[in-house]
Amino acid sequence: MTVPGMPSRLVTAYIGLGSNLGDRSRNLQGAVERLSSIGNVTAMSSMFETKPWGVDGYQPRYLNQAVAVETTLDPLEVVTELLSIEYSLGRAREEKNASRTLDLDLLLHGDSVVEASGVTVPHPRLHERAFVLVPLVQIAPELVHPVLKRTMAELAESSDRSGISGMA
């Protein structure tokens, strides 16, 4: 958290982006453009097409991407901004795991470990999700998970990467 009167520490936040409704590519591009409300985008993965994860029944395939943002915002402030960006780009939260125009997840925030106010960092299922790990490895393969003490490359190597294809 920021202490009034004290300079904020610059950290790199890693954000996972996903979309499986509408113009998926444009949805992700629009989100990246709006990430300036959080800080300076310093790295961006390619877009990967992925099968839906953890859902029953049919859903369209997702486009997923990972982005690194240098920020002085704390994790709760970042999540608040991500929710605002989702809403501004038409995200409706009707039911859990439903198809969506946009999904933005705070994956990591520097080496922070946070579980408060509905915010959990690192993302609690980061290490299980190849659709997040594969793009993240493209921009930060040596980044170490602050709890599991394994690099993103190591986590991706042991994940099920079936159903993921690269996009141009």
Residue 16 vs residues 2, 64, 95, 102, 158: alpha-carbon distances, Å: 24, 7, 20, 10, 19
Residue with tokens 């659709």: 131
For residue 86, pLDDT over 70 is answered with yes
Active site residue: 23, 24, 61, 103, which one? Answer: 103
Residue 80 belongs to some domain of the structure: yes
Using CA atoms, how far apart are residues 106 and 73, in angstroms rounded to an integer? 12
Q: Is 130 exposed, middle or buried (0-12, 13-18, 19+ CB in 10 A)?
A: buried
Asked if residue 128 is part of any domain, the answer here is yes
CATH code for position 151: 3.30.70.560
In which domain, by residue range, is 95 found?
A: 11-166
Alpha carbon 140 to its chain centroid, in Å, reads 13
* pLDDT attached to residue 4: 43
CA distances from 62 to 23, 28, 128, 132, 143 (A): 11, 11, 17, 11, 24
Q: What is the tens place of the pLDDT at every residue in 103-124?
A: 999 999 999 999 987 889 999 9
Asked if the structure places residue 5 within a domain, the reply is no
| Active-site annotation holds for 129 | no
Query: Mean of the per-residue pLDDT values for the chain?
Result: 88
Q: Is 161 a catalytic residue?
A: no
pLDDT for the residue 53 = 77
* Domain assignment present for 142: yes
- Per the model's pLDDT, the better-predicted residue between 2 and 25 turns out to be 25
Q: What percent of the chain has pLDDT over 90?
A: 68
pLDDT-derived band at 161 (thresholds 50, 70, 90) equals confident
Catalytic residue (choose from 105, 111, 150, 161): 105
What confidence category does residue 95 fall into, taking pLDDT thresholds of 50, 70 and 90? low
Question: ω before 141 within 30° of 0 (cis)?
Answer: no
Tell me, yes or no, if 61 is annotated catalytic: no
Identified catalytic residue from 24, 74, 100, 129: 100
In the prediction, which pLDDT does 2 show?
A: 45
- Is 1 a domain residue? no
Q: What is the pLDDT of residues 129-147, one digit of tens each?
A: 899 999 999 999 999 999 9
- Calculate the dihedral angle through the C-alpha atoms of 116, 124, 14, 111, rounding to the nearest 10 degrees: 60
Query: Which listed residue (34, 56, 74, 91) is catalytic?
Result: 91
DSSP type of residue 45: P
Any domain includes 3 = no
pTM over 0.85: yes
Q: How many domains does the chain have?
A: 1
**Cβ atoms of 120 and 75 closer than 8 Å:** no
